[in-house]
Amino acid sequence: MGTSVIVSDKYFLHKRSQKIFDFKIGIERYLAEGSLLHGQHIASVRNRCVECHGQDLGGRRIIDHLGSGVIVSPNISPRKLDRWSNDDIATLLRMGVKPDGTAVVMMPVYETQHLSAQDIASLIIWLRSVPPVTGIEPKISPGPFLTIPFALGVFPAFMPAESGIIRKKKVYQPYLEPQISPTYGSYLARTSCVACHGLTLKGGWIPGLPRNWPKAKDITKTGIGSWSEEEFVATMKSGINPAGIPFKVHGTPEIKKNFYDLELRALYLYLSGVP
């Protein structure tokens, strides 16, 4: 065990310091299509940036555990991001690489990579609008529960840009008009549910997290297919499923309440048909 920890830490540090991209994903020409309110909705409800980076975006201790190590997410308020260009932010969300070309860790880039240019533009507008805060000192010191599964190739989401699960195309997902359609539901699921429910949406243990965390549930046809649309919407808003069982990890009552009905109905239409 001791040796494998050292080996995997070296492997991790080596991988993390490697420069892997040297291009930027242009966002400037889409900025006029973004909206502050939409950005706030994505950051606080759909993608929940605030759950990891803190309500004030000053950074947050998201993991502190003997096996998983310590991960303190960085400050992403204007105090920090003022030094980043809009393209720097877009490239991080789309490709999972920082301005110095190295790979980012733990950021759910396999979700944000699928955001449309308009959604990313909205996020940038919102990120630039919040008050700057001093925040806390970030720390990325992952333990063996994170680095070993990554080194073995079973936890690609840990360093998504390194592990090949990022679409390396220099284009954005086309913009989809919000509407109650399976296409829009699939967009929402890919951009905000797969991080925990898995790429197949069948649920299971969330990689890298301590074993005492609840497993994510199956949210495909076999999991929620027997629920009505009303039951699904009510479940997402209340955090209590149709069997009356409350579930954890779905954010604060505020987050749940603020999902738009249109989004939940589109999600239901899509998810209840996923085999």
Residues that bind ligand HEC (CB under 6 A): 43, 47-49, 51-53, 62, 71, 73-74, 76, 80, 89, 92, 98, 104-108, 112, 123, 140, 192-193, 195-197, 214, 216-217, 219, 223-224, 235, 241, 247-250, 267
> Cα separations (Å) of 71 from 28, 74, 106, 165?
32, 9, 9, 22
To the nearest 10°, report the CA torsion of 50, 55, 56, 58. Answer: -60
Least distance in angstroms from the C-beta of 153 to ligand HEC: 19
Q: Which is nearer to ligand HEC, 148 or 271 (CB)?
A: 271
Rounded-to-integer distance, Cα 100 and Cα 88, Å: 9
Q: Which is nearer to ligand HEC, 1 or 263 (CB)?
A: 263
Q: Which is nearer to ligand HEC, 62 or 133 (CB)?
A: 62
Rounded-to-integer distance, Cα 41 and Cα 79, Å: 22
DSSP H helices, 115-169, are 117-129, 144-151, 160-163
> Cα separations (Å) of 30 from 22, 25, 121?
21, 11, 6
Sort strands 61-65 and 139-142 into parallel, antiparallel or unpaired: unpaired
Q: Which is nearer to ligand HEC, 3 or 212 (CB)?
A: 212
Q: Which is nearer to ligand HEC, 2 or 250 (CB)?
A: 250
> Which residues have CB under 8 Å from 90's CB, separation 6+?
24, 25, 26, 27, 117, 120, 124
Rounded-to-integer distance, Cα 167 and Cα 86, Å: 20
Least distance in angstroms from the C-beta of 129 to ligand HEC: 13
Q: Which is nearer to ligand HEC, 33 or 51 (CB)?
A: 51
Return the structure tokens found at 124.
Answer: 């940038």
Least distance in angstroms from the C-beta of 171 to ligand HEC: 19
Least distance in angstroms from the C-beta of 6 to ligand HEC: 21
Least distance in angstroms from the C-beta of 156 to ligand HEC: 15
Least distance in angstroms from the C-beta of 39 to ligand HEC: 9
